[in-house]
């Protein structure tokens, strides 16, 4: 009883933190933790509460309702990974953090007494989330065709950029050609018009220019363009003309990204030094994926470390509001098995 009184005066003990996680948000209602802070997304439901062990749902009861149960430092680690987007289908996404913040605001308004006990740890959770996201997650991005094309072209696109094609690949890439003028050419003008009608970017006057579907209009665009993105299959006859047009330009900057070939070997394009192909795009994708996984692994490690610091602060009486330990202390504690 004395220990419980001390905890009431100094703040909720970390050992009382409970998080239930269910990946079926539309499951039938149940009576587990009715006064908990509930975070619901399209993919999961999480319930967060401050309860001593004897007042929590039994593990078998929680499991029968589809919930995973976390408590103490493990609950804090899970919630931190959740807030950082590391538990999401798209790792590193930011929407979940906003959902947690809104759920917490709603909970504070509706359950003031229960929220009072949780508040110091939720405040620490949001602060730790900010630190982990800033160091490891912000700018992580996802590798889409458009983002990879943008990186392969490099630097600032001063334009004009010539985009050949009006299929799904070209439609995906067009919004990422976000600087300067974009010249769109396709052998079917109707198909190109349909593609542009679905693009918000096309609404900007003068930003996107649809060319006539003639060889002459395309040839003129090759002489104007700084960069060219090709989203149509290889064409031996036309490609020879395109290479000649590129090499005879007055300007000597810019590059070509040909997404209709895997390699320039054995094609007219092997004469072009500043050329990238599907092989280069997929190589960049793989490099990006490896770097992304390294950062995500470091972010998960940072979440585990912060949960360990929270446990240590709780043990020595610091509680959620402050920390007497730094990263150097954590390394020592880990070395000695604490």
- In the block, which residue shows the tokens 């810019």? 254
User: What does pLDDT average to over the chain?
Assistant: 85
CB atoms within 10 A of CB 209: 15
pLDDT in tens, 19-71: 999 987 677 788 899 999 999 987 899 999 999 999 999 989 999 999 999 99
The average pLDDT across 105-121 equals 94
pLDDT digits (tens, 9 = 90+) for 246-275: 988 877 788 999 999 999 999 999 999 889
Does an H or E element contain 331, and which? helix 327-335
Give the percent of the chain with pLDDT over 90: 56
CB of 242 closer than 8 Å to CB of 220: no
Question: What angle do the packed helices 278-315 and 72-83 form, to 10 degrees?
Answer: 150
* Strand, helix or coil for residue 332: helix
Q: Are 18 and 50 in contact (CB under 8 A)?
A: yes
As beta bridge partners, residue 257 has: 229, 276
pLDDT at 124 over 70: yes
pLDDT at 1: 33
Angle at 71 between CA 67 and CA 75, to 5 degrees: 85
What tokens appear for 157 in the block?
């696109």
**230 closest CA partner among 256, 248, 205:** 256
Asked if 180 and 208 count as a contact pair (C-beta separation under 8 A), the reply is no
> Which residues are CB-neighbours of 8 under 8 A, at least 6 positions away?
none
What is the 8-class DSSP label of residue 136? I
Token digits of residue 329: 């202390």
pTM: 0.64
Domains and CATH numbers, the chain: 2-140+291-335 (3.30.460.30), 145-273 (3.40.50.720)
């Amino acid at each position: 009883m004395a220990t419980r009184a001390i905890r009431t005066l100094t703040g909720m003990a970390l050992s009382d933190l409970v998080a239930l996680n269910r990946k079926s948000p539309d499951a039938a209602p149940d009576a587990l933790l009715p006064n908990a802070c509930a975070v619901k997304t399209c993919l999961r439901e999480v319930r967060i509460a401050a309860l001593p062990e004897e007042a929590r749902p039994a593990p078998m009861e929680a499991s029968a309702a589809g919930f995973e149960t976390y408590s103490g430092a493990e609950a804090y680690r899970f919630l931190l990974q959740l807030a950082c987007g590391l538990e999401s289908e798209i790792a590193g996404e930011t929407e979940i953090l906003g959902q947690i913040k809104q759920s917490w605001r709603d909970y504070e308004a509706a359950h003031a007494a229960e929220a009072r006990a949780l508040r110091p740890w939720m405040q620490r959770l949001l602060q730790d989330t900010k630190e982990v996201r800033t160091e490891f997650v912000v700018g992580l991005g996802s590798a889409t065709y458009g983002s990879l094309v943008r990186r392969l072209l490099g630097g600032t696109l001063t334009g004009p950029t010539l985009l050949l094609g009006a299929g799904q690949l070209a439609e995906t890439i067009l919004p990422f050609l976000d600087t300067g003028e974009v010249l769109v050419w396709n052998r079917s003008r109707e198909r190109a018009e349909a593609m542009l009608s679905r693009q918000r970017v096309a609404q900007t006057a003068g930003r996107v220019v649809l060319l006539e579907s003639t060889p002459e209009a395309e040839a003129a665009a090759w002489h104007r363009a700084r960069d060219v993105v090709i989203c149509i299959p290889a064409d031996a006859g036309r490609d020879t003309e395109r290479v000649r047009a590129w090499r005879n330009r007055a300007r000597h900057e810019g590059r070509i990204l040909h997404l209709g070939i895997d390699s320039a070997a054995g094609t007219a394009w092997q004469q072009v030094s500043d050329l990238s192909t599907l092989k280069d795009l997929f190589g960049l994708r793989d490099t990006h994926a490896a770097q992304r996984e390294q950062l995500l692994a470091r972010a998960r490690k940072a979440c585990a470390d912060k949960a360990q610091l929270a446990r240590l602060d709780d043990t020595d009486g610091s509680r959620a509001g402050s920390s007497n330990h730094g990263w150097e202390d954590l390394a020592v504690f880990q070395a000695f098995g604490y």
